[in-house]
Every structure is written in C-alpha cells, then in structure tokens.
Amino acid sequence: MEFLNSGKILPAGLPFSECVRVGELLYLSGQMGIVPGTTRLVPGGIREEARRALMNIRITLEAHGLSLKHVAKCTIMLADIGEWQVFNEVYKEFFEEPYPARSALGANGLALGARVEVECIAVFGG
C-alpha cells in the first residue's frame, strides 16, 4: 500500500490520507465541497457543493497521474436524498457515458454540515 497526499485539496493535520494506492487501484477518501486547503464549504448549497466536490476529485486524480476517465466506482452520500436529482445534474457535467458504477445514499449528518460527500475508486492504466 502507498498512502498519498498531494497537498492540493485537504488541509494538513486531518487524520486520513487523501488516497491510498493498492496495486492498480486508487481509493480516494470522500471529498466534500470544501475550498481547497481549508475545511470551509463553498456557499450555494447542494449544487455548488457537488460541483466543488467533483472538482476536488478531479484535481486529486490529476495530482496522481489519473483523470475522471479512470474512475470505476463512486459512492455518493447526501444529507438529503431528495437532492439526488440535483446531484445527478452536476455529476453529468463531470462524467459521461459510459458512467462509472455508482451508489447513492441518504446520510444522517455529514462532516462539516456538508450536503454531499463523494468517494471514488480509480484504476491505473484502466
């Protein structure tokens, strides 16, 4: 296993790695719509938080030599599952067919009071 931190998104001192490489798989920690280098959520609710979370994932992937095309699976955690359709609209700005495998669930409270958290698995050479 290789524990990776680009320093481009997550602020220092958090008790987890940005991502972990195991063989050809890259497991990304969940990303929220935070302003890079801070734990401050972007304003604008679900739409802007989703957009920023996915931008943070793209930046993280690129820092480790990958792109969104390398994503095999995403798990979406929503503070309100009723915002699922809004999230989907934003998601399609970042991913195109064929889409990664995906799960979505309603969560009873996300860190920082976030509306959404997105966790992905990417494949090197995939």
Domain count, the chain: 1
Residue 87 structural domain: 2-123
Predicted confidence (pLDDT) per residue in 26-39, tens digit: 999 999 999 999 99
Q: What is the mean pLDDT of the chain?
A: 95
What are the distances in angstroms from CA 2 to CA 51, 85, 107, 114, 119? 28, 35, 29, 28, 18
pLDDT higher than 70, residue 90: yes
* C-beta of residue 74 within 8 angstroms of C-beta of residue 100: yes
Model pTM score: 0.94
What token pair was written down for 68?
Answer: 């969104």
What is the Cβ-side half-sphere exposure of residue 1, based on CA atoms within 13 angstroms?
A: 5
CA 81 – CA 59 distance, rounded (Å): 26
71: domain CATH number is 3.30.1330.40
Give the pLDDT score at 34.
95
Predicted confidence (pLDDT) per residue in 49-84, tens digit: 999 999 999 999 999 999 999 999 999 999 999 999
